Amino acid sequence: MKYLHAAAFHIVFFLNLDNLKKHRLRLVVLELLVLRKPALRQYFFRYLQVVPKMRILTIVFLFQFLNLFSQDKTVQNFENAINEGYINSPTLIPIYVIENNKEKKYFLSDTETLYSAFEKELNQTNSDSLKKYILKNKSNQTFEFKNINALEIIGINRRKNINPKEIRKINKYIERKKILNGLQELQNKKKQNSRSYDQYYKQRMIIRDRILNEKEFNNDEKKLLGYLATNITTDENTISDLGNWASFENSNKIFELWNKEISIYKNKYAESEKIENELNEKFVIQPEKKFGSNYIVALFKYGVNFYVSDLNGVTYFRAIIN
Protein backbone atom coordinates (compact mmCIF):
# COMPACT_ATOMS: atom_id res chain seq x y z
CA MET A 1 0.00 0.00 0.00
CA LYS A 2 2.84 2.35 0.89
CA TYR A 3 4.43 1.80 -2.48
CA LEU A 4 1.12 2.62 -4.13
CA HIS A 5 1.32 6.02 -2.46
CA ALA A 6 4.81 6.49 -3.87
CA ALA A 7 3.61 5.51 -7.33
CA ALA A 8 0.63 7.82 -6.99
CA PHE A 9 2.95 10.70 -6.11
CA HIS A 10 5.03 10.06 -9.23
CA ILE A 11 1.95 9.99 -11.45
CA VAL A 12 0.25 13.07 -10.00
CA PHE A 13 3.48 15.07 -9.84
CA PHE A 14 4.50 14.41 -13.41
CA LEU A 15 0.97 15.01 -14.67
CA ASN A 16 1.32 18.44 -13.11
CA LEU A 17 4.64 18.91 -14.88
CA ASP A 18 3.01 18.05 -18.19
CA ASN A 19 0.15 20.41 -17.46
CA LEU A 20 2.59 23.22 -16.70
CA LYS A 21 4.40 22.66 -19.98
CA LYS A 22 1.19 22.45 -21.96
CA HIS A 23 -0.18 25.74 -20.68
CA ARG A 24 3.21 27.51 -20.60
CA LEU A 25 2.79 28.79 -17.04
CA ARG A 26 5.65 31.07 -16.07
CA LEU A 27 7.63 31.56 -12.87
CA VAL A 28 5.96 28.72 -11.03
CA VAL A 29 6.59 28.54 -7.30
CA LEU A 30 7.02 24.91 -6.42
CA GLU A 31 5.39 25.34 -3.03
CA LEU A 32 2.14 26.19 -4.80
CA LEU A 33 2.46 23.08 -6.93
CA VAL A 34 3.16 20.52 -4.22
CA LEU A 35 2.72 21.75 -0.67
CA ARG A 36 -0.54 23.65 -1.20
CA LYS A 37 -2.40 20.85 -2.98
CA PRO A 38 -3.81 18.56 -0.26
CA ALA A 39 -4.04 15.45 -2.44
CA LEU A 40 -0.58 15.87 -3.84
CA ARG A 41 0.87 16.91 -0.49
CA GLN A 42 -0.12 13.67 1.26
CA TYR A 43 1.41 11.56 -1.51
CA PHE A 44 4.56 13.65 -1.41
CA PHE A 45 5.21 13.19 2.31
CA ARG A 46 4.25 9.50 2.26
CA TYR A 47 6.58 9.06 -0.68
CA LEU A 48 9.47 10.48 1.34
CA GLN A 49 8.62 8.15 4.23
CA VAL A 50 8.46 5.07 2.00
CA VAL A 51 11.65 5.77 0.09
CA PRO A 52 13.98 7.45 2.64
CA LYS A 53 17.09 6.91 0.53
CA MET A 54 15.54 8.99 -2.20
CA ARG A 55 14.74 11.98 0.01
CA ILE A 56 17.83 14.00 -0.81
CA LEU A 57 17.59 13.22 -4.53
CA THR A 58 13.93 14.19 -4.55
CA ILE A 59 14.61 17.49 -2.80
CA VAL A 60 17.47 18.21 -5.19
CA PHE A 61 15.20 17.46 -8.14
CA LEU A 62 12.49 19.75 -6.78
CA PHE A 63 14.90 22.64 -6.35
CA GLN A 64 16.23 22.06 -9.85
CA PHE A 65 12.67 22.14 -11.11
CA LEU A 66 12.02 25.39 -9.27
CA ASN A 67 15.20 26.89 -10.69
CA LEU A 68 14.21 25.81 -14.20
CA PHE A 69 10.99 27.77 -14.06
CA SER A 70 12.46 30.72 -12.17
CA GLN A 71 14.87 31.27 -15.07
CA ASP A 72 11.99 31.89 -17.44
CA LYS A 73 11.57 35.65 -17.60
CA THR A 74 9.46 35.75 -20.76
CA VAL A 75 6.49 37.51 -19.18
CA GLN A 76 8.62 40.01 -17.28
CA ASN A 77 10.74 40.74 -20.35
CA PHE A 78 7.67 41.21 -22.54
CA GLU A 79 5.95 43.46 -19.99
CA ASN A 80 9.06 45.65 -19.63
CA ALA A 81 9.31 46.02 -23.40
CA ILE A 82 5.64 46.99 -23.81
CA ASN A 83 5.82 49.45 -20.92
CA GLU A 84 8.47 51.36 -22.85
CA GLY A 85 5.71 52.37 -25.24
CA TYR A 86 6.72 54.14 -28.43
CA ILE A 87 10.48 54.56 -28.55
CA ASN A 88 12.85 55.43 -31.38
CA SER A 89 14.77 52.16 -31.11
CA PRO A 90 12.08 49.52 -30.40
CA THR A 91 12.73 46.34 -28.45
CA LEU A 92 12.50 43.07 -30.36
CA ILE A 93 9.81 40.72 -29.03
CA PRO A 94 8.77 37.18 -30.06
CA ILE A 95 4.97 36.95 -30.35
CA TYR A 96 2.21 34.57 -31.44
CA VAL A 97 -0.18 36.02 -34.02
CA ILE A 98 -3.54 34.62 -35.10
CA GLU A 99 -5.22 35.76 -38.31
CA ASN A 100 -9.02 35.51 -38.22
CA ASN A 101 -9.18 32.40 -36.01
CA LYS A 102 -6.66 30.57 -38.21
CA GLU A 103 -3.62 28.69 -36.96
CA LYS A 104 -1.28 30.94 -35.00
CA LYS A 105 2.20 31.84 -36.16
CA TYR A 106 5.23 32.45 -33.91
CA PHE A 107 7.75 35.04 -35.07
CA LEU A 108 9.99 37.91 -34.02
CA SER A 109 8.49 41.40 -34.13
CA ASP A 110 9.12 44.62 -32.20
CA THR A 111 7.21 46.88 -29.83
CA GLU A 112 6.69 49.70 -32.32
CA THR A 113 5.21 47.35 -34.91
CA LEU A 114 2.88 45.73 -32.37
CA TYR A 115 1.60 49.11 -31.18
CA SER A 116 1.10 50.30 -34.77
CA ALA A 117 -0.80 47.14 -35.72
CA PHE A 118 -3.19 47.54 -32.79
CA GLU A 119 -3.75 51.18 -33.72
CA LYS A 120 -5.38 49.87 -36.90
CA GLU A 121 -7.02 46.83 -35.31
CA LEU A 122 -8.68 48.79 -32.51
CA ASN A 123 -8.95 52.15 -34.28
CA GLN A 124 -7.22 53.56 -31.23
CA THR A 125 -4.31 56.00 -31.01
CA ASN A 126 -4.07 56.51 -27.25
CA SER A 127 -0.82 54.83 -26.23
CA ASP A 128 -1.96 54.11 -22.66
CA SER A 129 -5.10 52.35 -23.92
CA LEU A 130 -3.07 50.34 -26.41
CA LYS A 131 -0.56 49.37 -23.72
CA LYS A 132 -3.32 48.21 -21.39
CA TYR A 133 -4.89 46.13 -24.15
CA ILE A 134 -1.61 44.50 -25.20
CA LEU A 135 -0.63 43.67 -21.62
CA LYS A 136 -3.84 41.67 -21.16
CA ASN A 137 -2.07 38.93 -23.10
CA LYS A 138 1.36 39.32 -21.55
CA SER A 139 1.21 35.80 -20.09
CA ASN A 140 1.08 34.09 -23.49
CA GLN A 141 2.10 36.88 -25.90
CA THR A 142 -0.67 35.77 -28.29
CA PHE A 143 -2.57 38.34 -30.36
CA GLU A 144 -5.36 38.03 -32.91
CA PHE A 145 -5.88 40.44 -35.80
CA LYS A 146 -8.74 40.69 -38.26
CA ASN A 147 -8.14 44.10 -39.79
CA ILE A 148 -6.37 43.81 -43.16
CA ASN A 149 -4.20 46.87 -42.55
CA ALA A 150 -3.22 45.62 -39.10
CA LEU A 151 -2.23 42.25 -40.55
CA GLU A 152 -0.16 44.02 -43.18
CA ILE A 153 1.66 46.05 -40.52
CA ILE A 154 2.37 43.05 -38.30
CA GLY A 155 3.57 41.25 -41.44
CA ILE A 156 2.06 37.84 -40.78
CA ASN A 157 2.35 36.76 -44.41
CA ARG A 158 5.97 37.86 -44.62
CA ARG A 159 7.07 36.11 -41.45
CA LYS A 160 8.46 32.62 -41.22
CA ASN A 161 7.11 30.50 -38.39
CA ILE A 162 9.78 29.86 -35.75
CA ASN A 163 10.64 26.20 -35.21
CA PRO A 164 10.54 25.33 -31.46
CA LYS A 165 13.14 22.59 -32.04
CA GLU A 166 15.57 25.18 -33.30
CA ILE A 167 14.99 27.33 -30.21
CA ARG A 168 15.63 24.35 -27.91
CA LYS A 169 18.85 23.67 -29.80
CA ILE A 170 19.96 27.27 -29.27
CA ASN A 171 19.02 27.08 -25.58
CA LYS A 172 21.47 24.21 -25.19
CA TYR A 173 24.11 26.28 -26.96
CA ILE A 174 23.40 29.19 -24.58
CA GLU A 175 23.92 26.93 -21.56
CA ARG A 176 26.99 25.20 -22.98
CA LYS A 177 28.74 28.40 -24.04
CA LYS A 178 27.77 30.29 -20.87
CA ILE A 179 26.23 33.02 -23.00
CA LEU A 180 24.32 34.61 -20.12
CA ASN A 181 27.53 35.08 -18.13
CA GLY A 182 29.14 36.66 -21.17
CA LEU A 183 26.19 38.99 -21.78
CA GLN A 184 26.21 40.02 -18.13
CA GLU A 185 29.90 40.88 -18.47
CA LEU A 186 29.09 42.83 -21.63
CA GLN A 187 26.30 44.72 -19.86
CA ASN A 188 28.63 45.63 -17.00
CA LYS A 189 31.26 46.81 -19.47
CA LYS A 190 28.71 48.93 -21.36
CA LYS A 191 27.73 50.66 -18.12
CA GLN A 192 31.37 51.20 -17.22
CA ASN A 193 32.12 52.61 -20.68
CA SER A 194 29.14 54.93 -20.44
CA ARG A 195 30.68 56.46 -17.33
CA SER A 196 34.11 56.46 -19.00
CA TYR A 197 32.64 58.30 -22.00
CA ASP A 198 31.31 61.08 -19.75
CA GLN A 199 34.65 61.39 -17.98
CA TYR A 200 36.56 61.37 -21.26
CA TYR A 201 34.28 64.04 -22.73
CA LYS A 202 34.74 66.30 -19.70
CA GLN A 203 38.50 65.80 -19.94
CA ARG A 204 38.43 66.90 -23.59
CA MET A 205 36.68 70.13 -22.60
CA ILE A 206 39.32 70.77 -19.95
CA ILE A 207 42.12 70.18 -22.47
CA ARG A 208 40.47 72.44 -25.07
CA ASP A 209 40.11 75.29 -22.55
CA ARG A 210 43.68 74.88 -21.39
CA ILE A 211 45.04 75.02 -24.95
CA LEU A 212 42.96 78.12 -25.73
CA ASN A 213 44.28 79.85 -22.62
CA GLU A 214 47.92 79.16 -23.43
CA LYS A 215 48.12 81.38 -26.53
CA GLU A 216 46.13 83.40 -29.04
CA PHE A 217 44.28 81.55 -31.82
CA ASN A 218 42.37 82.86 -34.81
CA ASN A 219 38.72 82.03 -35.41
CA ASP A 220 39.42 79.06 -37.75
CA GLU A 221 41.81 77.52 -35.22
CA LYS A 222 39.29 77.98 -32.38
CA LYS A 223 36.52 76.39 -34.44
CA LEU A 224 38.70 73.38 -35.27
CA LEU A 225 39.68 72.91 -31.62
CA GLY A 226 36.03 73.15 -30.61
CA TYR A 227 35.01 70.61 -33.25
CA LEU A 228 37.73 68.15 -32.23
CA ALA A 229 36.90 68.51 -28.53
CA THR A 230 33.15 67.95 -28.87
CA ASN A 231 33.30 65.06 -31.35
CA ILE A 232 34.91 61.92 -29.92
CA THR A 233 34.50 60.21 -33.28
CA THR A 234 37.31 62.42 -34.59
CA ASP A 235 39.71 60.21 -32.61
CA GLU A 236 39.61 57.88 -35.60
CA ASN A 237 40.00 60.65 -38.20
CA THR A 238 42.98 61.85 -40.18
CA ILE A 239 43.39 65.52 -41.09
CA SER A 240 41.92 64.84 -44.55
CA ASP A 241 38.75 63.41 -42.97
CA LEU A 242 37.92 66.76 -41.37
CA GLY A 243 37.04 68.48 -44.65
CA ASN A 244 36.23 72.19 -44.36
CA TRP A 245 37.00 72.20 -40.65
CA ALA A 246 40.68 71.80 -41.53
CA SER A 247 40.86 73.67 -44.84
CA PHE A 248 42.86 76.62 -43.51
CA GLU A 249 46.63 77.05 -43.29
CA ASN A 250 48.35 75.44 -40.29
CA SER A 251 45.29 73.27 -39.52
CA ASN A 252 47.60 70.26 -39.41
CA LYS A 253 49.53 71.84 -36.52
CA ILE A 254 46.30 72.31 -34.52
CA PHE A 255 45.35 68.72 -35.30
CA GLU A 256 48.74 67.40 -34.16
CA LEU A 257 48.67 69.51 -31.01
CA TRP A 258 45.22 68.26 -30.11
CA ASN A 259 46.11 64.60 -30.58
CA LYS A 260 49.28 64.99 -28.55
CA GLU A 261 47.37 66.52 -25.62
CA ILE A 262 44.63 63.87 -25.53
CA SER A 263 46.74 60.80 -26.38
CA ILE A 264 46.87 59.33 -22.85
CA TYR A 265 43.11 59.70 -22.27
CA LYS A 266 42.31 58.65 -25.83
CA ASN A 267 44.27 55.39 -25.55
CA LYS A 268 42.72 54.53 -22.19
CA TYR A 269 39.20 55.03 -23.52
CA ALA A 270 39.99 53.15 -26.74
CA GLU A 271 41.22 50.13 -24.75
CA SER A 272 38.02 50.05 -22.73
CA GLU A 273 35.94 50.22 -25.92
CA LYS A 274 38.03 47.44 -27.44
CA ILE A 275 37.12 45.07 -24.59
CA GLU A 276 33.42 45.89 -25.02
CA ASN A 277 33.63 45.27 -28.77
CA GLU A 278 35.35 41.92 -28.23
CA LEU A 279 32.60 40.81 -25.80
CA ASN A 280 29.94 41.98 -28.22
CA GLU A 281 31.58 40.07 -31.06
CA LYS A 282 31.80 36.85 -29.04
CA PHE A 283 28.39 36.82 -27.36
CA VAL A 284 26.19 38.78 -29.78
CA ILE A 285 27.51 39.12 -33.33
CA GLN A 286 28.97 35.66 -33.93
CA PRO A 287 26.05 33.67 -32.39
CA GLU A 288 23.57 35.82 -34.31
CA LYS A 289 25.44 35.06 -37.53
CA LYS A 290 25.25 31.38 -36.64
CA PHE A 291 21.57 31.20 -35.66
CA GLY A 292 20.04 34.35 -37.14
CA SER A 293 17.16 36.10 -35.37
CA ASN A 294 16.28 32.83 -33.60
CA TYR A 295 19.21 33.60 -31.28
CA ILE A 296 17.35 36.70 -30.09
CA VAL A 297 14.16 34.67 -29.64
CA ALA A 298 15.94 31.98 -27.60
CA LEU A 299 17.52 34.56 -25.29
CA PHE A 300 14.24 36.36 -24.65
CA LYS A 301 13.10 33.91 -21.97
CA TYR A 302 16.29 34.58 -20.01
CA GLY A 303 15.40 38.27 -19.76
CA VAL A 304 17.77 39.33 -22.54
CA ASN A 305 16.49 41.96 -24.95
CA PHE A 306 17.72 43.56 -28.14
CA TYR A 307 16.68 46.63 -30.09
CA VAL A 308 16.81 47.88 -33.67
CA SER A 309 18.59 51.20 -34.06
CA ASP A 310 16.51 53.88 -35.76
CA LEU A 311 19.76 55.35 -37.09
CA ASN A 312 21.12 52.43 -39.11
CA GLY A 313 18.61 49.56 -38.73
CA VAL A 314 21.23 47.39 -37.02
CA THR A 315 20.26 45.08 -34.13
CA TYR A 316 22.03 45.72 -30.82
CA PHE A 317 22.07 44.10 -27.39
CA ARG A 318 20.22 46.32 -24.93
CA ALA A 319 20.24 44.66 -21.50
CA ILE A 320 19.45 41.71 -19.25
CA ILE A 321 16.56 42.40 -16.89
CA ASN A 322 16.84 41.40 -13.25
Tens digits of residue pLDDT in 263-311: 999 999 999 999 999 999 999 999 999 999 999 999 999 999 999 998 8
Q: Cβ neighbours of residue 223 under 8 Å, at least 6 residues apart?
A: 245
Contacts 24+ apart (CB under 8 A), 191-196: 192/272, 193/272, 193/273, 193/276, 196/269, 196/272
Distance, CA of 256 to CA of 288 (rounded, Å): 40
Residues 25-30: what's their mean pLDDT? Answer: 40
Convert the pLDDT of each residue in 61-106 to its tens digit: 444 444 444 579 999 999 999 998 777 889 999 999 999 888 899 9
Percentage of the chain modeled with pLDDT above 70 = 78
Residue 43 has a pLDDT of 52
Residue 87 has a pLDDT of 78
Residue 15 has a pLDDT of 47
What is this structure's pTM? 0.74
Distance, CA of 313 to CA of 185 (rounded, Å): 25
Q: Which of 41-45, 102-106, 142-146, 170-174 has the lowest mean pLDDT?
A: 41-45
